[in-house]
Chain A
Amino acid sequence: MIEDTPQPPAGTRPADDDLVRATGVVKYFPIRRGIIFKHEIGQVRAVDGVDLTVRRGETLGLVGETGCGKSTLARCLTRLYPLTAGQVVFDGTDISTLNRGQLRPFRRDVQMIFQDPYGSLNPRRRVGSIIGDPFAIHGVADGAERKRKVQELMELVGLNPEHYNRFPADFSGGQRQRIGVARALALRPKLIVCDEPVSALDVSIQAQIINLLESLQDDFGLTYVFIAHDLSVVEHVSDRVGVMYLGRLVELAEVDELYRHPHHPYTVALLSAAGTPDPNKARKRERILLTGDVPSPIDPPSGCRFHPRCPKARDRCSVDDPVLMPGTDRRPGAEPTGDGHVTACHYPVLPGEVLAGRT
Chain B
Amino acid sequence: MALLEVRDLTVEFPTTDGLVKAVRGVSFEVDSGETLGIVGESGSGKTVCTLSLIGLAGGGRRGGQALFRGQDLLTMSADELRAVRGAGIAAIFQDPLSSLHPLYRVGWQIVEMIRSHEDVSKAVARKRAIDLLGLVGIPQPARRVDDYPHQFSGGMRQRAMIAMALALNPDLVIADEPTTALDATVQAQVIDLMVRLQKEFHSGLIMITHDLGVVADIADRVLVMYAGKAVETAELDDVFYHPHHPYTKGLLESIPGASGTRGKLRPIPGSPPSLIRLPSGCSFHPRCRYVMDRCLTDEPPLMDVGAAHRSACWLPATLSGLAEGTEAQRMKVAEAARSEDTPVAEGES
Contacts and interface: CB of A to CB of B under 8 A. Distances in A.
Interface of A: 65-66, 158, 172-175, 202-208, 210-212, 214, 229, 231-233, 235-236, 269-270, 272-282, 287, 289-290, 293-294, 359
A279 B212 CA distance: 10
Interface in B164-216: 183-189, 192, 210-216
Interface of B: 41-42, 153-156, 183-189, 192, 210-217, 236-237, 240-241, 250-259, 264-269, 271-272, 348-349
Main secondary structure of the interface of B (DSSP, over half): helix
Contacts of A275: 184, 187, 211-214, 216-217
9 contacts: A203-B251, A204-B250, A204-B267, A207-B267, A235-B256, A275-B212, A276-B217, A276-B257, A293-B154
Nearest to A259: B257
Contacts of A273: 184-185, 187-188
B57 to A, nearest CB: 21
A321 to B, nearest CB: 22
Contacts of A279: 216, 236-237, 240-241
Given A211-B267, A277-B216, A290 B236 contact: no
B121 to A, nearest CB: 34
A275 B255 CA distance: 12
Most chain B CB inside 10 Å of its own CB: which residue of A173, A204, A235, A281: A204
Given A210-B265, A275-B213, A279-B216, A293 B155 contact: yes
A293 B269 CA distance: 39
A315 to B, nearest CB: 23
Contacts of B267: 204-208, 210-211
A317 B251 CA distance: 44
B256 A289 contact: no
A236 B257 contact: yes
Contacts of B272: 202, 204
Contact of B184 (A203, A207, A211, A270): A270
B260 to A, nearest CB: 9
Contact of B254 (A203, A272, A274): A203
A66 B155 CA distance: 12
A282 B41 CA distance: 22
B240 A277 contact: yes
Contacts of A235: 256-257
A281 B216 CA distance: 9
A345 to B, nearest CB: 17
Nearest to A237: B256
Contact of A277 (B184, B255, B268, B271): B255
Contacts of A359: 189, 192
Contacts of A174: 271
Given A275-B184, A275-B216, A293-B153, 14 more contacts: A172-B271, A202-B41, A207-B265, A207-B266, A208-B348, A212-B348, A232-B256, A232-B257, A273-B185, A273-B188, A276-B213, A278-B257, A287-B192, A289-B189
Contacts of B188: 272-273, 287, 289
A229 B184 CA distance: 8
B240 A290 contact: no
A205 B256 contact: no
Nearest to B226: A204
B259 A277 contact: yes
Contact of B258 (A65, A173, A277): A277
A259 to B, nearest CB: 10
Contacts of B258: 277-278
A212 B259 CA distance: 22
Contacts of A210: 256, 265, 267
Contacts of B254: 203-204, 206-207
Q: Which 6 A-B pairs have the closest CB atoms?
A: A275-B213, A207-B267, A236-B256, A273-B188, A207-B254, A232-B257
Contacts of A270: 184-185
